[in-house]
Amino acid sequence: MGAAFLTACGTSTSGADASHPDKITVDYAFYSPTSLVLKEFGWLEEAFEEGTEIEYVLSHGSNRALEFLSGGSIDFGSTAGAAALMAKSNNSPIKNVYIYSQPEWTALAANADSGIQSVADLEGKKVAATLGTDPYIFLIRALNEHGLTSNDIEVVPLQHSDGANALATGQVDAWAGLDPHMARQELETDAELFYRNTEFNTYGFLNVRESFAEQYPEAVDKVIEAYEKARVWALENPEETAEILAKEADIDGSVASLQLERNDFSNPVPGDEHRESLKEAGDVLQRSGDIDESLDIEELVNELIDSSYAERVIED
C-alpha cells in the first residue's frame, strides 16, 4: 500500500474544514460486497476520525442509488456502470471515481419447468426487471443480440427482490436477476440461468456527486483509500467477506459464497476497458431508445468516468 493509503486509513484528520465536510453520506448495497466490508469495520470513520460524521444509506439497486445521488441525499453511490451512463444521459450530476468490482451479477433466469431455454423463447412472455439498472440493460442487450426488442416482451417493472419473488411464485415467466437474489433463487428454488454473458455485465461503479468532488477533492481521495482497504481485505479474506454479506443481506452462507464467486475485485482503477464496456452498452441503449439518439455516447462516457482520483490514490 502507498503512503497516502496508510495515512488516510490509520491517522486522524485535522477535523472538518474547507477540505473535509461536517458529514459524508455513503451508500452500501448487497450487490457491492466491498461496501459491506467498509461499513463492517468502520474504516471511513477512522479515515475521517475528527470532525466529519459518516452516515450509511442502503441502496436496493442502481436506480435507488442514482435517485439518492441526483437528489443530494448521498454523496457516494454504488451502481452498475451502464446504469450510471443512463443517468448521465439524463443530466445526473455524477462522476465515476472507483471500480468496486467486475461482477457477473446479472443473468436471465426462469423456473426449471418454464420451457424457456433461450432468449428467443421470451417473445410474448412476461419478464421482470428493475428499470434503469444493469439487469434491465442486460435484458435489452440480450434481446438485441437475438433480433428482439422490449416491444416483443412484456417488461414487468419490479425492484430486484420483488422480481425474484415474482419468478418464484409464477407471476412472471422470466426475470433479469441480480445477486444476491439471483444466487438465492438458484440454490433455493432451482431457478435456471438460461442466458449468461459476462461481457454484458458492466462494472461496479462508485459514483460521487460532482459538486461534492469539486468542493472536497481531498475527501474523495480518503473515501477511495478506505474503499481500497476494503477491497484488498475482501480479496484476502473471501470466507469472512461471505459471512459479512450473509449477515447484512440476511441470506444463507452458501448464497453469499456463490455471489462472491461471481465477483472479480482485481482492477479498481477506471480505465479504457471500462470506457469501452460503457460505449458498447450505450450504443445498444441508444438504438433501443433508452438513451437519446442525439447524444454522443463517447462524450458521455468521458464525462462520467474520472480516473484521476483512483490513479492518484492507488499504487500498482
Strands (E), the chain: 23-28, 53-58, 76-80, 94-103, 108-110, 126-129, 154-157, 174-176, 192-195, 204-209, 263-264
Which residue shows C-alpha cell 440454490? Answer: 187
**CA distance linking residue 174 with residue 227, whole number of Å:** 35
CB distance 203 to 80 below 8 Å? yes
Which three cell numbers, joined as nine digits, stand for 233?
481485505
Confidence class for position 50, pLDDT limits 50, 70, 90: confident
What percentage of residues in the chain have a pLDDT greater than 90? Answer: 87
pLDDT at 269: 97
pLDDT at residue 265, as a whole number:
94
Q: Which cell is 3 given? A: 503512503
Q: In this predicted structure, what is the pLDDT of residue 60?
A: 92
Confidence band of 16 (pLDDT split at 50, 70, 90): very low
pTM of the model: 0.86
Q: Which helix (H) or strand (E) holds 44?
A: helix 43-47
